[in-house]
Structure 1
Amino acid sequence: MALALTATACEPGHGGAGGVSRPPGRTGDSLADRLSRLGIDVDHWRDGGWRDWDRWSGAAEDFVNPVIAGLWQPDRMRSADAAGKTVPARDALAHRQLSDPPPPLAEAVPERTPYREYAAPMGKLFFDSPGGSLVCSGTVVRDVYHPGKSNLVWTAGHCVHAGRSGGWYRNIAFVPAFNDLGRSEAGLADATEREVAPYGLWWADRAATSEQWIRNGSETGGAGAAYDYAVLRVRPESGGRSLEETVGTALPVDFSAPPVSEVGPVSVWGYPAAPPYDGLTMFRCVDRPRRLSLGPELPTMYRVGCPLTGGASGGGWFRRVGDRLELVSNTSIGPVDGAWLAGPRLGGDAKRVYDTMGARYGGR
């Protein structure tokens, strides 16, 4: 049976292979400096120059994402797609001796509304690719370098960068608690701006993903899935408070990479957009992870029987520690039939990506 690895949302690719994380740009660079080095005029960019994909670079210092006020209107958000990634067969990518059998299917449950009361740190990511506008999911995470004032969003690497086949995506923006009341498409036709984006629109002005992803990311995942994570630093399209202050909370990240035998049950959140879902409703499911190995030289991933589809990529996986939730993974890959999802274990490489954003850029 043919499968599609939903990187679970983006058109050009998701992968990586091993090594150190890669910082985005040079310390102290302004947006104007970065644009100038690329020979880009900011006014031309905002007037549509961003559509020139012939100038698509994978170099880490080439991430530029000027705010284009009014670009992400509700109609454009609703038209953004999720796209699949294909592999030959259901478990053809799994290393048999190191992987557990595929998990049984768990139940996907719509999150309670309003989302700002029950799942405020979770949200939807919008971005442009050469193939059109796409979507992923993301989570507001704590910034230990700037307590209480985090501007950091955790997502999947393939939601910000195409890997070896391309470069950074453009017009990346995050909407916490998107579609706060969980309205249908018809219901959103007359929804207020606050109902669509209760905390506003947040533009990424810095991005970091793994060196492994940038160097080896591919459309079918493969080795890259084990390093498929990213951190964005965002700023509001308007307003002055930090993302954490605006949303009211941010979730901690666990970089201990607990083995499957110790991680316990996890809750998986996201905005699935490929059928049978429409990308407008936040869903969650709970399952106990099993092992998925893509090769003996790669870190083992977590795999759960969660049926979320394209668009859920980058959504957080959380385990409960005492009275709080901790992010332990994010959605990376899964078959097109929604039989399971897999996410990377977050260890030293993931922490270096996080430290790049928090220590170097987080509070600016």
Structure 2
Amino acid sequence: MHASLSRLIVTGVTIGLTATVGIPAAQASPPPGNISIDALANSRSLDDIERYWTPERMAEAVDLDIETGERPAGGPRRPDGVSGSVEPVAARNGIRSVDQSQAVGKVYMTTPSGPAACSASAVNSPTGRLVITAGHCVHGGAGQDWYTDFIFVPALRQGDEPYGRFVASTLTTRSAWAERSDLDQDIAIAVMSDGASGDTVVDTVGGMGLRWNWGYQVDVTILGYPAADGFPGDVQYYCQSGTWQAEGEQVRAWCDMTGGSSGGPWLQEYDDDSGLGYVNSVVSHGHGHPGQFDGPYFDGDVADLYTYAESLA
């Protein structure tokens, strides 16, 4: 396997994916498995939260990075469940006006230490209101709490916000992350309020597909907003790599992006022309190698989280 230098994404100007199949049905509470949820009790209105994120405050946001030190790769392991998928879907208007994936963007949140930022992507669902990222981008982990003022800015580019902002109404993650900081479960899905135009986030920018139990060795394109070591933080970059099993239920890939990429999607079958693919993991952490990232292996746990988040949308 060879590392691919991170590069600015350059894609086409129109998209044509329209199919939506294979979406698990939403279900009522209690949530499946060990899922934690939080309905954001914002003291400010949605408009106030949008205004809170001034350019100056966004520039101050600290990237939520995790570095674990050197960690050995695991032995051979097989998926322990039935594979499944959600199909990607194009934006309702079918138009792309920027030269990057419009379904990928930056997320901003308030932590106890102040403003922070990660990467994320919209994911297709019946309601069209879901955004997937890393667990540590919504919750501080063991002994900590949920973050607030969470917004998604799709296709952010050098201060330009071509599709506006979407404010989260609910955050979800696996309790294995929230209670134990378990990197195997460093996954989160945010339920977003509709945008200023009244459209959902997926209607506005399209939604990535989702895959689980697809195996440890796949080819992926990793998208994100690196912000350290010379990267600007407000431009979308990519890496391409094969994946392999890392420690525990994690996958590893070659990628030289830096802090700020946390939560960025690992995409199977990414299409430059559509800006869409299937999320098969998200950037979780580094492990002491400057050219590699680890992410949680997507098994049935992510399908449960997706289904439950959709039931709250």
Contact 1:66 1:205 in 2 (8 A): no
Residue 156 of structure 2 corresponds to 178
Structure 1 residues 170 and 115: CA distance shift in structure 2, 3 A: farther
Give the equivalent residue in structure 2 for 1:116. Answer: 98
1:213 — aligned with what?
Answer: 177
Q: 1:344 to 1:304 in 2, by over 3 A?
A: same
1:85 maps to 2:66: yes
Q: Distance in 1 between matches of 2:35 and 2:279?
A: 21
1:84–1:155 Cα change, 3 Å: closer
Q: RMSD across aligned C-alpha pairs, in angstroms?
A: 2.7
- TM-score (normalised: structure 2): 0.75
Contact 2:50 2:165 in 1 (8 A): no
Distance 1:69 1:313, change over 3 A: closer
Letter of the 1:231 counterpart: I
Question: How far apart, CA to CA, are the structure 2 residues paired with 1:84 and 1:20?
Answer: 27
Match in the other structure for 2:37: 24
Matched, 1:306 2:260: no
**Deviation string, structure 1 residues 308-350 (Cα, Å, up to 9, x no partner):** 1111000001111899621111000114663210111111111
Matching residue of 1:155: 133
- TM-aligned CA deviation for residue 276 of structure 1: 2.7
- Partner Cα separation in structure 1 for residue 114 and residue 228 of structure 2: 15
Q: Distance in 1 between matches of 2:179 and 2:303?
A: 18
Q: CA deviation at 1:66?
A: 8.9
Q: Distance in 2 between matches of 1:336 and 1:134?
A: 23
Matches of 1:268 and 1:164 in 2, distance apart? 27
SS in 1 for 2:304: helix
Contact 1:23/1:353, CA 8 A, preserved across alignment: no
Deviations 1:61-112 (A, max 9, x none): xxxx89524111222212212144343x43xx3256569xxxxxxxxxxxxx
Residue 23 of structure 1 contacts residue 208 of structure 1 at CA under 8 Å; is this kept in 2?
Answer: yes
| Counterparts of 1:84 and 1:306, CA distance in 2 | 15
Partner of 1:39: none
- Residue 182 of structure 2 is aligned to residue 201 of structure 1: no
8 Å contact from structure 2 (residues 143, 179) kept in 1: no
Partner of 1:231: 189
Q: What is the alpha-carbon distance in structure 2 between the residues aligned to residue 96 and residue 239 of structure 1?
A: 47
Other structure's SS at 1:154 match: strand
Higher strand share goes to which structure? 2
Spell out, residue by residue over 1:224-253, the C-alpha distance to the aligned partner (whole angstroms, 9 max, x if none): 111111101111463311111122x11110
Q: TM-score, normalised by structure 1?
A: 0.65
Identify which of 120, 138, 141 aligns with 2:120. Answer: 138
- Can you give the 5+ residue segments of structure 1 that lack an aligned partner in the other structure? 1-18, 26-30, 36-41, 48-64, 100-113, 189-195, 218-223
Q: Which structure: greater helix fraction?
A: 1
Q: How does 1:1-364 map to 2 (within 5 A)?
A: 20-24=33-37, 35=41, 45-46=43-44, 68-87=49-68, 89-90=69-70, 93-94=71-72, 97=75, 116-143=98-125, 145-146=126-127, 150-179=128-157, 183=158, 188=159, 196-217=160-181, 224-236=182-194, 238-247=196-205, 249-255=206-212, 257-261=213-217, 263=218, 265-294=219-248, 299=249, 301-320=250-269, 325-335=277-287, 338-358=290-310, 360-362=311-313
Say whether the 8 Å CA contact 2:36–2:178 is kept in structure 1. Answer: no
**Deviation of 1:198 (Å):** 1.0
| Aligned-partner Cα distance in 2 for 1:338–1:331 | 14
CA contact (8 A) 1:153 1:234 kept: yes
Long gaps (5+) in structure 2 = 1-31, 78-95
**In 2: Cα distance, 1:175 partner to 1:320 partner:** 24
Alignment: residue pair count: 261
Q: Is the 8 A contact 1:139 1:316 kept in 2?
A: yes
* Bigger CA radius of gyration: 1
C-alpha distance 96-200 of structure 1, shift in aligned 2 (>3 A): closer
